[in-house]
Structure 1
Amino acid sequence: MTPDERPPRSRPDRTPIWLWILGPVGILALALIGVSFSVPGIELAVWWPAAGFAAWFALRAAPRHRWIAVLAIFIVTTTANALPGRDLLLCAAYGLANALEAAVIVTLLARRTRLFARRAHLITRAGRGFVLDTANNALYFVLAAALGCVASAVVIGAAGAVFSTGFTPLTGLFVAASHCAAVLLIAPFALLPPPLATRIHAIEVTAQTLLLVGMIVITFSPLTNLPGAFLIFGLFTWAVLRFPIRIVYPQALATAVAVLVLTVLGQGAFADRSSTPLETAAVTVIFMTSLAVFSVLLTSARYETLANATAALELTRVQAAAERERAAALSERLELERQRQDFVATTSHELRTPITSILGYSELLQESEFPPPERDWVEVIHRNAARLGDLVEDLLSLGHGDAEPAALTPVELAAADLASDVVSTHDPLAMTRQVDLGHRIASDAVFVADRSDAVRALGNLVSNAVKFTPQGGTVLVEAERDGGFVVFTVTDTGPGMSPATLARAFDRFYRAPDAETQNTPGTGLGLAIVRELAERNGGSVTIESPRHGGLRSRLVFRAATPPVVR
């Protein structure tokens, strides 16, 4: 999981001008200052801050400019070593050691970044590549710093052997530890991850800082001789567990520098309890390195935990917001559906009365004696009023499609003659279109449904079949018991349906392209009504179009036990 990110301050493919100025000047100044960090009695510097700043400089440079930064490190450190009047070749060797140290660290961290990007298929998070945002990354950084410092110490040791400077393997080990402490305390400032939204209490930070200063004064000053150096790690644990990285790292660096200065001045626990200057320097370097490793590892681990928790919390918040939006949308949709159903039902009921009057009076007019023109007019009025009545009934069915039927009762096909009623109703249309309409019903088929719903559902299927069957075709209505169900099957010899039309056949107001082009009458509600009527009676409806043509519709109801005849 990734935390909320802030955009990098500079583009990842550009190195700001100020860095090219600050980097070399800072390395040169710290190299000259580093000479002063030596314990009286030995010539080696206990701490070499130029090494840490050089690593910071190389890591802050854009990836494509880092080789230039490494070259600048070589030139500046060579110059710094030449100022005291040393041999130029020896100075170049020392410069090479410092440049190699930065190059090893940068290369290893860049390799880690590329490997991560390939596996995760995403761009690194801070825009500059490697950042200390996980415990694994922190451990990798510590190992990379150690390898870089060891490589530098090997070159320095080899140069000492060639130029007879008196360096020994122990000296090389000391140089590696000195450089490593500097890299681990300074270079992390170039690898800071994006800040997390955490609450910081100024009073708590102030209290912890004052206690830390007090502990340093007590342990590393002439005021006391108490062996309390280890207590500093307890105070740092407080900082690591409570404060952001941007507070912990400066505290670690300031603490290390304060302890180093007091020790160089001959004060504190390390200077008083060491028998030789070299032992004092070694203990000081070990303390600084331990403090740096402790800070880097624990702060990165805590950052990873907080980042994961922040990401999980944000994900939960987004999901909750999405659920609220979904619930609101569903509520609005249900309300719109209720309003639509109320409108359809109310309007349809209001239309029933005038349509019934038109149909009744047109039937009376049909029984009267009129000359041909007027009789044709009456026929047109009656026919269109009947169509309008069918449309109103369809709308009423849709408006109350989710309501339970008045009563579910056993319907026996042979006694109720349901299929015959449906077929006889559509015979006139079939005769007009010259379609052979027949039926074949199993006498023992009994199902549970509302009879009027069943008649209307089956009637719509038969009506569709007759409308779309060409002249000379056939439509067959069948009914039989299949296990616990009674299945009505309506088969026609029409053109059938394409897969795209089948997928939308039950959509309301959907009409197949063929129906539009052939001017086949209809509203696109027939199959939608069939499905709603079937489902509210505990049944179902399916349609299929065989490869050889035609259409087969299956209307299924639950079967019932036939009545016992006595």
Structure 2
Amino acid sequence: MTALAPGASALRPLDPPTRPRYLPLWSWPVVALLVVVAGVVGVGLAPQGSRVAVWWPAAGIAVLFLVLTPRRRRWAGLLLVLGATALANAIGGRPPLAALCFGVANAAEALVVTALLARRGRPRFELRSLASAIYFCLAVIAGAVVVGLLAGATIAGLEDGAFWSTAAYVAASHAAAVVMIAPFALFPRRVPVRAGPLELALHVVALAAVIALVFRDGADLPLAFLPYPVLAWAAFRFPVRVVAVQTLLASCAILALTIAGGGPFNHEGLDLAVRAALAETFLVTFAGFSVVISAAQYELRDTTRRLAATSRLLSGSLLEASVGLAIAQRRADGRVRVGWSNPTAAALVGEGAERSWQGPLADAADEALRSGEPVTVELDERTLTVAANLVPDEPDHFSVQLVDVTEPLRMQAATLAAEQEQQAARVTRADLERQREDFVATTSHELRTPIASIVGYVELLEDSPRLTDRERGWLEVVTRNADRLSALVEDLLAIGQIAADRDGVEPREIELGPFVTEVLGNVRVLADRKEMTLDVAGCAGTAHADPDDLTRMLTNLLANAVKFTPPRGRVTTRTVEHEDGTVGVVVSDTGPGMAPEELEHAFDRFYRAPVAERDAVPGTGLGLAIVSELAARNHGSVALASPEGGGLVATLTLPGRGRAGVRETG
């Protein structure tokens, strides 16, 4: 294959090489018969008194057959060629040993040509360029040299003939046959041509007339060159397949007329050997000329086709581009005209620009050309970016790119406005959140005094001996609700304090064993009322946290477990030391647990599970929220899980020894 010229590396073939098409096995006997018949015919074409045929078509059929044979079967194909050509020589009258030697020589020639073509072609060799045609001719010459030397040695050794003359005649006769026949297995993909049937008919008539004129009986003028221009006409106008067929038929006609005694090679002054040599040389050059020029013309057609496709692709891309593209020219008088523009640019520059381009866009293009930077211009409620640069080797021409950035700018402005609105909303939300927290903290603080007064006076009333049982029941209701209101106020104050003072903690290392035991003592009174069991299963390790915060976290988790566990249930507390240096306190109970959708909201403020509302379990819905806030303030976390067997498992994870200030994600 030919290499592309520098700068044309991007020009790739539109079509890949055709996939190899191999002959089926059932065709092998037909090929063997053709080789035998062609060999017998070739022997019959030998001049009187000569041991060598003028043309050996069996060689061309053998090479064509091996090219169309898969690699894995090629050795079997070589044996078929050897046997068929040996049989043809034996039928032609050669002794058995000489016939076998000629069979070996033919097989060696076919092997050399096929191997050389296979080495160059991946996945198959094709006559699609001038370089490939020259390589094919060189491969044919190499095979001809091999068969010529072997045939010369056979004739010289077995029949006492001349070595060099035999070698030369055999090489020429075989080369002519291979060049004529083998290309039928090496055709590339079809490329459309413009020549029609009428031109083809005229060419056939012209070629037949020229051959009849030059090789008629009695013609002695040196006009053997006349078929070449006619053959060149075919190569330039018709497909390579048509040229190959014409070349083969024309060569057979020339050969037949020459054998019949016509043409310039049968001059009376030439002996038989010279006549045969001239005829063979003509056939080789005629067929080789056809192969080379038709392959070169195919390459030209294919290159033209690819260039046209690339041009169409590029032109279509430029014409359909949403970017305005134009080529402008600055005249000697300083005026600028637009020589070419795609539809987008034509709509922007307006009419008359091909004569004289003026206006804001022209001024912007001139400024962009001078500064080397894009220029933005407002035009008819649109915003355009104009860039310009000189065309290489054309100092009076420059290219202009016009980009409509109206929509991107609008989208950018809308995005900026949306971001500003979001920022304002965030500021407003943060302000409202701060006001809410201030209100809750202030209100909770103000409620402390009246609640304390209510609780105090209720206690004084309960000490009175004159109260009836019904009146004491009323006081119990007041006390219970006052305690509930007091707990709510304390939780609200705790939430507000945590939010306002997230860094106001004094963490230290706390031994969890005695600390957990102390906190359990605070909630044991609640557990005893429900006859529940509080277990401690291996509490060890050291946590780095604020003691007051840790006390409140554990108290809330344990109190929550006791409240939701049925009477005579069990609450178990244990600690876990993790490999990452954190320590966890795990509180598990035998209560009803929580559904997955309830777990998602368990740490939300004022959230109470449906079971708490149904069973009237006292609480404010802030206990777990406080635990979550305190855990985060101490660089820890808290998580809830509800096993399939029931119950709830709360895991409080805190920094361990030596991990102060390291936030854990739980």
- TM beyond 0.5: yes
Q: Establish whether residue 45 from structure 1 lines up as the match of residue 67 from structure 2.
A: no
Distance, in Å, in 1 between the alignment partners of 2:66 and 2:163 is 29
Cα shift readout 1:427-458 (whole Å, capped 9, x = no counterpart): 55666579xxxxxxxxxxxxxxxxxxxxxxxx
| Structure-to-structure mapping, 1:279-358, within 5 angstroms | 279-318=274-313
Report what 2:99 is aligned to: 91
1:152 has 2:160 as partner = no
Cα distance between partner residues in 2 of 1:471 and 1:49: 105
Asked if the contact 1:131/1:192 (under 8 Å) is kept, the reply is yes
CA contact (8 A) 1:221 1:262 kept: yes
Question: For the residues of structure 2 that align with 1:195 and 1:398, how far apart are their CA atoms?
Answer: 49
Whichever residue aligns with residue 236 of structure 1, its letter is L
Q: Does 2:171 match 1:163?
A: no
1:249 aligns with 2:249: no
Distance 2:408 2:207 in 1: 78
Shift of 1:216: 0.8
Instruction: State the one-letter code of the partner of 1:94.
Output: F
More relative contact order in 1 or in 2 (CA 8 Å, sep 6+)? 1
Tell me, in whole angstroms, the C-alpha distance in 2 between the residues paired with 1:133 and 1:160. 38
Range with greater deviation from structure 2 (167-176 or 38-47): 38-47
Q: Distance in 2 between matches of 1:173 and 1:433?
A: 112
Look up the match of 1:24: 32
User: Shift in Å at residue 84 of structure 1?
Assistant: 4.0
Give how far 1:110 is off: 1.1
1:54 aligns with 2:49: no
Equivalent position to 1:2, from 13, 18, 29: 13
Aligned-pair distance for 1:248?
0.7
**3-state DSSP class of the match of 2:44?**
coil
Matched, 1:177 2:185: no
In 2 relative to 1, CA 426–28 (structure 1 residues): closer, same or farther, beyond 3 Å? same
- Output the CA distance in 1 between the equivalents of 2:43 and 2:437: 110
- TM-score using structure 2 length: 0.47
Q: Distance in 2 between matches of 1:471 and 1:26?
A: 104
Aligned ranges 1:349-368 → 2 under 5 Å: none
Which runs of structure 2 are paired with 1:64-83 in the superposition (5 Å)?
64-83=72-91
Counterparts of 1:273 and 1:66, CA distance in 2: 47
Over 3 Å counting, the alpha-carbon distance change for 1:206 and 1:170 in structure 2 is: same
2:362 maps to none
Residues 344-493 of structure 1 correspond to what in structure 2 (within 5 A)? 401=411
| Residue identity opposite 1:255 in structure 2 | A
CA root-mean-square deviation: 3.9
What is the aligned partner in structure 2 of residue 271 from structure 1?
266
Amino acid at match of 1:180: A
Please say if residues 64 and 185 of structure 2, whose CA atoms lie closer than 8 Å, have aligned partners that are also in contact. Answer: yes
Offset of residue 100 of structure 1 = 0.5
In structure 2, the partner of 1:540 is none
Partner secondary structure for residue 261 of structure 2: coil
Aligned to 1:190: 185
How many residue pairs get matched?
A: 351
SS of match in other structure, 1:222: coil
Q: 1:30: how far off?
A: 0.6
CA, structure 1 residues 426+79, in 2 after alignment: closer, same or farther (shift >3 Å)? same
1:112 pairs with 2:107:
no
Residue 78 to residue 157, structure 1, CA distance change in 2 (3 Å): same
Kindly provide the CA deviation profile for residues 476-522 of structure 1, in whole angstroms up to 9, marking residues without a partner as x: xxxxxxxxxxxxxxxxxxxxxxxxxxxxxxxxxxxxxxxxxx99xxx
CA-CA distance at 1:318 after TM superposition:
4.7
- Name the amino acid aligned to 1:206: A
Q: Percent of aligned positions with the same letter in both sequences? A: 32
1:210-225 map, 5 Å: 210-222=205-217, 224-225=219-220
Deviations 1:213-272 (A, max 9, x none): 111111110264432210111111111111110111111111111111111111111112
Tell me, in whole angstroms, the C-alpha distance in 2 between the residues paired with 1:100 and 1:55.
10
Q: Which residue of 2 aligns with 1:237?
A: 232
Are 1:3 and 1:308, in contact at CA under 8 Å, matched by a contact in 2? no
Superposed displacement of residue 398, structure 1 = 11
Q: Which residue of 2 aligns with 1:488?
A: none
Cα distance change, pair 85–248 in 1 and its aligned pair in 2 (3 A): closer
CA distance in 2, matches of 1:473, 1:246: 90
- Structure 2 unaligned segments of length 5 or more: list them: 1-11, 324-406, 415-422, 439-498, 504-602, 605-660, 662-666
Matched ranges for 1:523-562 at <5 A? none
Task: Quote the residue 1:364 is aligned against.
Answer: none
Note the residue ranges of structure 1 that are not aligned, 5 or more in a row: 118-123, 329-396, 405-418, 435-469, 475-517, 520-547, 549-566
Match of 1:482 in 2: none
How many Å apart are 1:147 and its aligned residue?
0.7
Equivalent residue number for residue 41 of structure 2: 33
Which structure is higher in strand share?
2
* Residue 262, structure 1, aligned to residue 268, structure 2: no
- How far has the Cα of 1:86 moved from its partner? 3.1
Q: Residue 160 of structure 1 contacts residue 166 of structure 1 at CA under 8 Å; is this kept in 2?
A: yes
Match for 1:208: what amino acid? H
